[in-house]
Structure 1
């Protein structure tokens, strides 16, 4: 009975995602996100990951640098560093270690990967899937993301970008719940924003 129940749940989930995909004008888009919002969005619609920035996070100031010159950064080779050498280590001392890499002068925190080999393999594979003609850049005010970082991101000359902030910044969508928030932000973001708004632009 449990197996049958699991099959029914999976079928219902596939049907739900198929209905959601029909609302999209295209499924070939790349989401460059500072955290897991991008991966959860792909999962929501049942779409293959077409971005290397899934299952990881990037500190606010580093993410702004990445977005400002993404073509350059995505050509760099990952250079993995010891856990204790990560600049954000002071906030992770009670966390089980996971791979951290330098991409040029920025750091990538592969929080959902078990090894450097897995992180690297999936990163390079997904870099090849990037669609440069349909890119969406998204930043949330978390993980050392300052108000100044938000301002810089909003001012970047990117055609499609979205920003969520708990501080008031022109061009950003205010999400008060983000302050001191930890975990999956998808639910609280959805209270303030319909992702179809930017996915179909």
Structure 2
């Protein structure tokens, strides 16, 4: 039964993704993400990775530091950090910003992909996303909101109506942070292929950019 349910969800999710591809007008944007969420969105929309933040994550404080000087940090050399407590490569920028390349086999592979994709970033068609995971608190959410990016959103486990760039994911209100938003939702919506990030109309969000 589980096998058939999984196949049905994947089938209906493919229908959702195909509909979103048709609705998407802005097809050459760059998406900077604090974790794997951005990569899932881009993959669903069949968009080239015009961003280095793929298959990795930042702790929240490091991500804010990364965004505060984004252009310089994207062009700065990444140094390998040896952490024998982790089974994936780790890098550091400017002696303070740590990047966890958890889906790469080696640091050389991670660095090569980072540098290749960093060159593609279009600052005139740029989107920024974050979640309130990995050490994020209200202070950092407010710092994110103050960053000078026109198109940005942070997904939170509780409502912050006073903070403009937040988007509340209600299913996680009893948790300490949002969960993995790329997982299928519980209940009937998940049965029909919807994932937690589908609460947010990310196609309309991306269509606010420069589609030329």
**TM-score, structure 1 as length reference:** 0.81
Offset of residue 38 of structure 1:
0.7
Offset of residue 146 of structure 1:
1.4
Q: How does 1:45-124 map to 2 (within 5 A)?
A: 45-84=45-84, 97-104=87-94, 105-124=96-115
Structure 1 portions without partners, runs of 5+ = 1-11, 85-92
Alignment correspondent of 2:202: 195
Structure 2 portions without partners, runs of 5+ = 1-11, 183-194
Offset of residue 74 of structure 1:
0.4
Matched residues in 1 for 2:16 and 2:136: separation? 34
Moved more, 13-22 or 41-50: 13-22
Distance 1:42 1:56, change over 3 A: same
Moved more, 116-125 or 160-169: 160-169
Matched residues in 2 for 1:137 and 1:200: separation? 14
Matched residues in 2 for 1:18 and 1:182: separation? 26
Alignment correspondent of 1:174: 168
Alignment correspondent of 1:37: 37
Moved more, 164-173 or 127-136: 164-173
**How many pairs does the alignment contain?**
181
Contact kept? 1:36, 1:184, Cα under 8 Å: no
SS state of the match for residue 27, structure 1?
A: coil
Contact kept? 1:139, 1:163, Cα under 8 Å: yes
Offset of residue 76 of structure 1:
0.7
Matched residues in 1 for 2:152 and 2:119: separation? 21
Moved more, 169-178 or 61-70: 169-178
